[in-house]
Structure 1
Amino acid sequence: MKRGSTLFLKLAVILMGLPVLALCIFLVPNLASYAAELYPDHTYLKYLVYIDLYASAIPFYIALYQTFMLLGYIDQNKAFSELSVRVLKTIKQCALIISGVYVIGLPLFYLIAERDDAPGLILLGMGLIFASLVIAVFAAVLQRLLQEAIDIKSENDLTV
């Protein structure tokens, strides 16, 4: 494959990371302060918001990096290799971790939404959980299909 054939996808991966970085820099501190204002007796909620949202950003960036690596393997004609299977496994695990972090943080979303009278916040949290699970399932299916294709390829190479 030509070296630049996945250039657009690599650019898209980079552009996916920029809004999340901006949210982590600008929105998360404001959300944490807002949660502390809603519950002045429970100032620790501010730190729970930080932990929940930043803990989900770390596996997100790991998954983006792994996606970038997978696109590099495709450029190097190594798409049908164990390296690609490992990358897909890591992406699946990152998506499951993100989903788990938001499941654990859902009561926090509930507290903020109830005090602020914003039920859409709970739906947003559930949407993030669902989106992460969809990505995890998709990565698992691709991982399994790729592993089966590698197994078939190695069987064909041995029967020559």
Structure 2
Amino acid sequence: MKQGTTLFLKIAVMIIGAPVLVLALFALPWLVNNPVNPAYANILYPIVGAMYVSVIPFFVALYQALKLLSYIDRNQAFSKLSVTSLKVIKRSAITISGLYVVAMPFIFRLADLDDAPGIIVIGMVLIFAAMVIAVFAAVLQRLLQEAIDIKSENDLVV
């Protein structure tokens, strides 16, 4: 495949990562130091902690997506490396979803105290978005593995 055909997708991955990095470096520390209501600070800490920890698997998944795009550029899309990248993306998405499931009781308590049920919806959207990505990566991983198996089987027949 011609080099750079996935350039648009690589740029999109970088653009997706940039706001998350800015939020993790600037917005979350500001939120911890300046809570809107100081009485909610103890409930806010576990939520912000889950957000910080979820940044790690998020960037691991973005890095694996960039690796997967580079495999496609090098005509190695149907390889074990691609399957491994999809497996890591799937595990990262499951980790992110799990972190927000653990943080959900704190989000619920914060929404109850602040009388803002929309916060619960935001937490649920984060959980379900990560799970959709995990399921999609699992389906792609399985399809790619089956394609690799068929290809190796055909190579043995000749």
2:24 counterpart of 1:19: no
* Distance (whole Å) between structure 1 residues aligned to residue 37 and residue 73 of structure 2: 48
Counterpart of 1:67? 65
Partner of 1:106: 104
Contact 1:36 1:44 in 2 (8 A): no
Contact 1:36 1:46 in 2 (8 A): no
TM-score (structure 1 length as normaliser):
0.92
Change in 2 beyond 3 A, CA 1:52/1:35: farther
Shift of 1:26: 2.7
Contact 1:99 1:129 in 2 (8 A): yes
Task: Verify the 8 A CA contact 2:58 2:93 in the aligned structure 1.
Answer: yes
Within 2, Cα distance between the matches of 1:15 and 1:100? Answer: 25
In 2: Cα distance, 1:36 partner to 1:59 partner: 30
In 1, Cα distance between the equivalents of 2:53 and 2:89?
16
Task: Report how many aligned residue pairs link the two structures.
Answer: 157
TM-superposed CA distance for 1:30, in Å, is 3.7
The equivalent residue for 1:85 is 83
Equivalent residues of 2:57, 2:93 under 8 A apart: yes
User: 2:44 and 2:119 mapped to 1: Cα distance?
Assistant: 17
Structure 2: 5+ residue stretches without partners:
none
Counterpart Cα distance in 1 of 2:106 and 2:39:
12
3-state secondary structure, aligned to 1:34: coil
Instruction: Report the alpha carbon displacement of residue 35 of structure 1 after superposing the two structures with TM.
Output: 7.0
Match of residue 46 from structure 2: 48
Matches within 5 A, 1:77-156: 77-156=75-154
Q: Are the aligned partners of 1:63 and 1:94 in contact in 2 as well (CA < 8 Å)?
A: yes
Q: Secondary structure at the match of 1:68?
A: helix
Give unpaired runs (5+ residues) of structure 1. none
Amino acid in the other structure paired with 1:93: R
Residue identity over aligned pairs, in percent, reads: 58
Structure 1 residue 31: Cα displacement:
3.4
| RMSD over aligned Cα atoms | 1.5
Aligned to 1:58: 56
C-alpha separation in 2, matches of 1:66 and 1:156: 29
Q: CA deviation at 1:28?
A: 1.6
Q: TM-score, normalised by structure 2?
A: 0.93
Which residue number in structure 2 is paired with residue 34 of structure 1?
Answer: 35
